[in-house]
């Protein structure tokens, strides 16, 4: 089982991000666009315009992790009406990944997929 380090902070990039960006481009966005340290023990989470895909950038002692999540149905309840980043807890990130808003606890129903489309 893959175990990632426990982050000190979780930052959500407000608005949409072009998820064609690579590790280097996302790290530059963190540093130059948000004024944060991409090498800090933090998660930096980015969402696409349709809100059905996420990328998570994480530095782990000698390299970056780039995690990608795609929903088969539904959308992420991405925060709107903000600039820069929003800091959330690891628990709130888990809610977001499960399809919840940052303030409620009702998850997406499980998807039983039979084949890749």
Nearest Cα to 95, choosing from 8, 10, 1? 10
* pLDDT for 29: 96
Nearest-CA neighbor of 43 among 84, 80, 89? 89
Of 31-40, 47-56, 69-78, the least confident: 69-78
The yes-or-no verdict on residue 30 having pLDDT over 80 is yes
Q: Quick check: 90 pLDDT over 70? A: yes
Taking a C-beta distance cutoff of 8 angstroms, is the pair 97, 89 a contact? Answer: no
C-alpha span between 42 and 56 (Å, rounded): 10
Is pLDDT at 68 greater than 80 in this prediction? Answer: yes
Residues 65 and 4: beta-carbon distance below 8 Å: yes
CB 49 within 8 A of CB 16: yes
pLDDT at position 108, please? 64
- Reported as a pLDDT band with limits 50, 70 and 90, residue 46 is very high
Asked if 74 contacts 67 with a C-beta cutoff of 8 angstroms, the reply is: no
Percent of the chain with pLDDT over 70: 93
């Amino acid at each position: 089982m893959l175990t990632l380090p426990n982050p000190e902070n979780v930052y959500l990039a407000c608005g949409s991000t072009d998820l064609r960006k690579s590790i280097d481009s996302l790290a530059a966005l963190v540093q130059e666009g948000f004024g944060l340290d991409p090498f800090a023990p933090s998660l930096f989470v980015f969402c696409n315009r349709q809100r059905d895909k996420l990328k998570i950038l994480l530095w782990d002692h000698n390299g970056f992790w780039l995690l990608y999540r795609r929903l088969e149905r539904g959308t992420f309840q991405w925060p709107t009406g903000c600039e820069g980043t929003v800091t959330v807890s690891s628990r709130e990130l888990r809610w977001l990944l499960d399809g919840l808003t940052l303030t409620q606890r009702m998850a997406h129903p499980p998807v039983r997929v039979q084949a890749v489309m």
